[in-house]
Amino acid sequence: MTKTWIWIGLVATAAAVLSGHGCAPGETESGEAAALQMERPGQKVVRSIAFEGNKKLKDKELKQRLGFKVGDYLDEVLAELGRRAVKEHYRTKGFPDAEVEMSTDAPVENQMHVRYRIVEGGRVRVKSVKFVGNKGIKTGALKKVLTTKTHKWGVMASYYNQDTVDADLLKLQSIYADRGYLNHEIRAEGDEHIVFHIEEGPIYHVRDVLFEGADSVREAELKGRLSEGLELELGKPYWKTKADEHADRLRKMFRERGYINAQVDQTPWHVMEQGQQANVVDVKYRLEPGEQFRIGRVDVTGNADTQDKVVRHILDEYDFTPGELYNADIAPAAGGGSLEKRIRRQMLADEARIRPMDSNQPGQKDAQVDVKEGLTGMVMPGIGVSSDSGFIGRLIYQQRNFDITDWPESFEEFISLKSFRGGGQTLRISLEPGTEVSQYSFNYTEPYMQDKPTSFDLSGMSFERYRESHDEGRLKGMVVIEQRLKNKWRPSLGLRGETVEISSLDRDAPREIRRVSGDNALVGVRLGMTRYLVDDEWEPATGRVYGLAYEQVTGDHNFGLLTGQYAWYHTLATDLADRKTVLATKFLGGMAVGEAPPFERFYAGGTGAYGIRGFKYRGVSPRGLQTNVLPPRIPKRKDPIGSEWIAIAGTELAVPVVGDSLSWLLFIDAGWIDSGGIRAGVGTGIQIMIPQWFGPVPMRFSLAVPVMKDGEDKTEVFSFSAGGLF
């Protein structure tokens, strides 16, 4: 029957058009409306929508809120919902007293004209936001978490919105409860001048910490760890955040041992003394481990273009395989775990979800890994710029899900990036001509060589750079193999073959540069060991990274390079909006063993690995004496020739300013080389995280003043770079 009515409607519509009664888009003529009305009895077709009295908001904006348009079917109920939506929109735009009336008429059968009469009332602009009664928490800290402000983005006017005020009220109540003010009262009043009245009440202190449900845990070892690392101190104020952190650690302890549904809750219990409530609490942790499971079958779905092994390699590296305890800490049943995050980053997937599924075997849970593939390949033209390297043009082909065995079946398939993908490898081909440096390179990476957590990198590069007294060109090939061990150590082996050409020497180029003029052949073998103990390798907020490497080089020159690094990250504070202020400290060192040529020595300054902000790129270095200088001129030590050793130390404070994208930087950089004394720069800057295809890219702008320098150093107050964190 339904199909019959559809055909009748289509025939009637065609007849109306053929008879010259066609209609413009968005409208419906009476003949068409009558035919289509047969499908939807009781509803009418909207012939027109009109607004009256709206001066501040345009018709187009209001129509978008209705939920229907001209030509749609409508009844009185839907029209009323549209009226409420318009009124609510006015309220969110700062018109708390706006009134909206609706009327409809139907001059033609089965058609409707809808009219909204609006009395906007005054638009209320927020002129001030104040706090009264807060003593334990400063006003500045409270204002940072409010959405209600006098200005948006510091410039645009902000208008009163009751929903926003209500949401801010809940935030404030949560903050006070978290700080131990368990009997607080907060209310808001006003519209132009909003005042949050706060009655803090007393701060509650911790009297005792109790555990319930521990007897149900089958492993005695777990019982002994229940109180390890407890953040709450007896006699100190009750902080809900600290109590929750310990609950999270207890939950983690259970879930990583296969207790998938383990629950740990904490509750402050008020203590009664002599019949009256005292300002102390007992913190009770309720432990419900549930049943312990091992992993049964693991299924991967959603990977239409990516091979199963790409996902399984990641699972294997984290011991998430059949027979192992189901680690619900890295793969929680609710989603959002670190293993899912790793899969998304490794595969560049839009989504990744690991779900425990019922199994036929007792004590087992199958795991289903659902992925939604994202953009992995790109051809990207662009322009880059930095204070170290000037302007650089870029044409980059990159495939982060490369498969060397997936050859294209047609040229169109190759151009559309539908070939050479699915194997989880990375291929990057880059053409980067520039004003100061030009580089042409390719890089191929297999992250799981021989199906093990071992990466294989093969790269080649042609490099040209205009140095201070000469041109430097490099043609290099390199192979690096790095293994990722369970204890977070990463041993690596590297091999490079390289030709370095020193040409176009200035007349006064120093002797050290003249000695290496022409082609220089190098072959190097590098051994390294690095350990990553940070919470996030891409954006670390806590933990440390340290390592040591030695490269022995032979060929036209025989020498060794010993380098080391240590970086430490610590979260100083987490503000009320859950943004972290991170202090980072780094130490870098290097030493040449034997006589290294100038192009292999160490230079400090700029924003690179051995950067000291406040100094130019390669601005901190021993200087070579000019040659071919005729009297009466006197030779000077002018151009850098590199240091035999270097030591860099720096510390940086990153304070979030706007969301997660903009941070304020404060830093001190210092360095030592084999000539002159200590160099140091102090400064400030900003970091902007720019979203890109493969994750956010940091852009950094810095102003630094050298506070300790040598007379031969080259300084630079302003520096900027993209693509590197501290």
The string of pLDDT tens digits covering residues 161-189 is: 888 899 999 999 989 988 899 999 999 99
Of the candidates 726, 721, 614, 626, the residue with the CA atom closest to the CA atom of residue 678: 614
As beta bridge partners, residue 288 has 263
> Which is it for strands 662-673 and 471-483: parallel, antiparallel or unpaired?
unpaired
Residue 508 has pLDDT above 60, yes or no: yes
Residue 622 has pLDDT above 70, yes or no: yes
Q: Is 278 left (phi over 0), alpha (psi -120 to 50) or beta?
A: beta
The Cα 181–Cα 198 span in angstroms is 11
The Cα 12–Cα 295 span in angstroms is 61
Edge-to-edge strands of the sheet including 205-212? 205-212, 276-288, 263-273
The string of pLDDT tens digits covering residues 709-721 is: 998 999 999 988 7
The string of pLDDT tens digits covering residues 221-273 is: 555 666 666 777 888 899 888 888 888 888 998 999 999 999 999 999 888 77
Of the candidates 243, 299, 302, the residue with the CA atom closest to the CA atom of residue 268: 243
Residue 147 has pLDDT above 60, yes or no: yes
Q: Output the six-digit token pair for 601.
A: 């020595």
Number of C-beta neighbours around residue 370 at 10 A: 17
Question: With contact defined as beta carbons under 8 Å apart, do 507 and 625 qualify?
Answer: no
Q: Which of 20-24, 54-58, 120-124, 452-456 has the highest mean pLDDT?
A: 452-456
Look-up: residue for tokens 């080391």? 564
- What was the pLDDT predicted at 399? 86
Going from the C-alpha of 295 to that of each of 257, 302, 608, the distances in angstroms are 11, 21, 45
Residue 651 has pLDDT above 90, yes or no: yes
The Cα 270–Cα 182 span in angstroms is 10
Residue 197 pLDDT level (bands cut at 50, 70, 90): very high
> Which region among 1-5, 69-73, 387-391, 402-406 has the lowest average model confidence (pLDDT)?
1-5
Longest Cα separation, the chain: 108
> Which region among 7-16, 50-59, 311-320, 376-385 has the lowest average model confidence (pLDDT)?
7-16
Q: Output the six-digit token pair for 385.
A: 């710029």
Alpha-helical regions (H) of 19-75: 30-37, 59-66
| pLDDT greater at residue 720 or residue 205 | 205
As beta bridge partners, residue 45 has 73, 111
- What was the pLDDT predicted at 141? 87
The CA R_g of the chain, rounded to the nearest whole Å, is 34
The Cα 306–Cα 214 span in angstroms is 44
The string of pLDDT tens digits covering residues 466-503 is: 999 999 999 999 999 999 999 999 999 999 999 999 99
Question: With contact defined as beta carbons under 8 Å apart, do 178 and 240 qualify?
Answer: yes
Through-space distance between the first and last CA atoms of the chain, rounded to whole angstroms: 69
Structural domains in the chain?
2-119 (3.10.20.310), 128-199 (3.10.20.310), 205-288 (3.10.20.310), 294-372 (3.10.20.310), 512-722 (2.40.160.50)
- What was the pLDDT predicted at 227? 65
SS3 62: helix
Per-residue pLDDT averaged across 519-524, rounded?
A: 98
Edge-to-edge strands of the sheet including 364-372? 294-301, 364-372, 351-358
Alpha-helical regions (H) of 300-352: 308-317, 338-347
- What was the pLDDT predicted at 122? 87
The Cα 337–Cα 335 span in angstroms is 6
- What was the pLDDT predicted at 217? 54
482 phi and psi, to 5 degrees?
-130, 130
